[in-house]
Amino acid sequence: MHDSLVDAARGVRARAHAPYSGFQVGAALESEDGEVYLGCNVENASYGLTVCAERSAISAAVAAGKKRFRRIVIATEAEQPTPPCGACRQVLAEFGPDLVVDSVTPTMVAHWTLRELLPSAFAHRPFA
Ligand code: THU
């Protein structure tokens, strides 16, 4: 089935700034109202300042006024589909545990919920 969120994640992956790792990542985040927000990893010569694709997409969405999300698609060209790193899981969890997290390579797809990827996430208050 054609999946435009997958196309969007693959498209933005090409814009990643990853000269140090060579590992380009694209993320496409769908808000509850059906809009799509894009992110890619942005590396830095001071390596620890790198921003992952997932957090970059969250920032774009929040800056556009969105805080409720349905699904994120992560696109890489790794051998296996890669889930978000631990830091990104916590940042995604800020907006609720029901987010669908899909990851694609050119030939494979993986599917999770954020609750599966980060059980017992830290939060100041319980999720509704
Ligand atoms: N990276 C992401 O953008 N998302 C992830 O979930 C994992 C890692 C980036 C960070 C760095 O630029 C490169 O991939 C290699 O770790």
| CA neighbor of 28 nearest in space, from 108, 111, 78, 103 | 103
Q: What is the mean pLDDT of the chain?
A: 96
Examine the residue annotation and report whether 43 is marked as an active-site residue of this protein.
no
Residue whose CA is at the smallest distance from ligand 1 atom 13:
23
Residues in the chain: 128
Spell out the residues 6+ positions from residue 15 whose beta carbon is closer than 8 angstroms to its own: 26, 40
Report residue 1's pLDDT band, with 50, 70 and 90 as the boundaries.
confident
Phi first, then psi: give them for residue 123, nearest 5 degrees.
Answer: -155, 150
Report residue 124's pLDDT band, with 50, 70 and 90 as the boundaries.
confident
Q: What's residue 125's pLDDT? A: 74
38: Cα separation from own chain's centroid? 9
Q: What's residue 62's pLDDT? A: 98
pTM tops 0.75, yes or no: yes
102 lines ligand 1 (CB under 6 A): no
Angle, helices 53-63 vs 86-93, to 10°: value is 20
Q: What's residue 61's pLDDT? A: 98
